[in-house]
């Protein structure tokens, strides 16, 4: 989902991070969006209304009854229904409190109140770390999340006060990634119940603690695997997936690689996005169509490139699924140009050196809040080797598949896997389509992180 021809209302409240608002407007417009801006009176202390008006090409609303924004007396309703999404960035502690308690005394809060339920309301709080961690602020965040608002958590770094802590407004690319992602998610794909008999309104997780996956149940068995409606069990989670082979150049013509098609990794990326995740897919060279959904793709060729991109992306990842078939060895000396056959003689000798172990590096650096899944392709004693790899690489889950499994393999559309979890659970699945296999893996992860 892109922002081309999307109508976005940008709300700005009184945070020092409001100085970034003109850059947010410019980037939205650069991506093809039409932007209308609303500010709180205190926001005008940090950023000029005139600048925002010139950038957006629309009047900027601050007070409810300004003459230049009136249109029949109900401009706030018209604006709330005009937009495809509303983003409040930055959102101050005061504006958070207004939205959480229903105290709508500013133009910004009134428009936010009027946004229909099917239109995403996305909020990026920004404040000092002590303010962010205040119990009242955290209660307000929880309350508006329960009301269906999407919260973009603030980042950790140096704040305006000079303190190092959580409270920074995220980078603009990440803000807009959340907006694009929210627009890409259909409201029809969310499973919830109003639990009217119990007097509350909570989303009901349909993830089984026993790894039973909806992909294998009768609920949607009449649909193709790609058409099955997915519950949003990973909504807002950042999932990093690696896929495909790597190629290790001998010279500019010859290389060492493997038979990986990337189909399993791409299926995981598509299904994770359908389940609400913000997916980054690091892909080796494949011959596959672009995956569907809100997926950021990073193309690489070599094992070293995949290592560099994976390690660089991992620190901001909630879940990493390392599915790529990365070369274990690479030529020690990669030749520029083409080696001439006549110069090589009857035997061509290529000295190989080990490539970096991506899964080991990720396992060593992961925090208790991160979940890491590795893959193990074995030709014999697959389960035993998988269990050893689970411990040795410090992963939370290993997906084992066998080279010799019938109706499975790199180039095919099916896979046969056994899932080994850190808590000792072991579940084997029959051969099934790779999209169904992706569902099984993802539901297993969901069952572990949402017990």
State the Cα–Cα distance between residues 39 and 61, nearest whole angstrom.
Answer: 6
Catalytic residue among 54, 200, 201, 258: 258
Instruction: Let me know if 450 is a catalytic residue.
Output: no
Per-residue exposure over 187-200, b if at least 16 CB sit within 10 Å of its own CB, e if not: eeeeeeeeeeeeee
Q: What is the sign of the dihedral through the CA atoms of 35, 12, 181 and 240?
A: positive
How many angstroms from the chain centroid is the CA of residue 251? 36
Residue 77 · residue 71 · CB < 8 Å: no
Tokens of 268: 């995981």
289-298 contact pairs (CB < 8 A, 24+): 291/266, 292/226, 293/184, 293/269, 294/1, 294/177, 294/180, 294/181, 294/184, 294/185, 295/269, 295/270, 296/177
> Which sequence positions are flagged as catalytic?
258
């Amino acid at each position: 989902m892109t922002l081309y021809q999307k109508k976005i209302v940008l709300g700005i409240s009184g945070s020092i991070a409001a100085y970034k608002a003109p850059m947010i407007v410019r980037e939205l417009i650069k991506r093809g969006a039409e932007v209308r801006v609303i500010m709180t009176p205190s926001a005008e202390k940090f950023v000029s209304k005139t600048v925002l008006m010139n950038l957006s090409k629309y009047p900027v609303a601050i007070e409810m009854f300004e003459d230049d924004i009136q249109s029949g007396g109900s401009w706030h309703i018209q604006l709330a229904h005009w937009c495809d999404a509303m983003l409040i960035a930055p959102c101050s502690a005061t504006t958070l409190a207004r939205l959480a308690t229903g105290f709508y005394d500013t133009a910004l809060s009134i428009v936010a109140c009027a946004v229909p339920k099917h239109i995403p309301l996305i909020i990026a709080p920004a404040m000092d770390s002590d303010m962010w961690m205040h119990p009242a602020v955290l209660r307000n965040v929880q309350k508006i999340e329960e009301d269906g608002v999407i919260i973009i958590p603030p980042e950790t770094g140096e704040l305006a006060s000079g303190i190092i802590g959580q409270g920074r407004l995220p980078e603009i690319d990440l803000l807009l990634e959340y907006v694009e992602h929210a627009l890409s998610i259909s409201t029809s794909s969310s499973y919830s119940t109003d639990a009217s008999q119990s007097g509350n309104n909570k989303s009901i997780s349909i993830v089984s603690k026993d790894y039973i996956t909806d992909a294998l149940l009768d609920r949607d068995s009449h649909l193709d695997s790609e058409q099955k409606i997915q519950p949003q069990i990973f909504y807002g989670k950042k999932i990093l997936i690696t896929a495909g082979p790597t190629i290790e150049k001998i010279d500019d013509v010859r290389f060492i690689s493997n038979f990986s098609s990337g189909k399993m990794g791409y299926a995981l990326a598509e299904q994770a996005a359908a389940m609400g995740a913000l997916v980054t897919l690091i892909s080796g060279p494949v011959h596959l169509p672009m995956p569907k959904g809100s997926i950021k793709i990073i193309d690489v060729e070599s094992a070293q490139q995949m290592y560099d991109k994976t390690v660089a992306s991992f620190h901001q990842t909630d879940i990493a699924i390392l599915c790529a078939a990365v070369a274990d060895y690479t030529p020690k000396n990669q030749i520029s140009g083409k080696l001439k056959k006549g110069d090589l003689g009857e035997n061509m000798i290529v000295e190989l050196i080990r490539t970096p172990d991506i899964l080991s590096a990720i396992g060593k650096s992961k925090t208790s809040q991160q979940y890491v899944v590795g893959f193990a392709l074995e030709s014999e004693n697959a389960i035993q080797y998988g269990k050893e790899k689970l411990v040795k690489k410090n992963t939370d889950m290993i997906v084992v598949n066998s080279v010799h499994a019938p109706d499975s393999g790199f180039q095919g559309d099916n896979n046969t896997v056994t899932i080994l979890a850190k808590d000792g659970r072991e579940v084997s699945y029959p051969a099934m389509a790779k999209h169904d296999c992706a569902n099984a893996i993802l539901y297993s992860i969901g069952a572990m992180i949402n017990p």
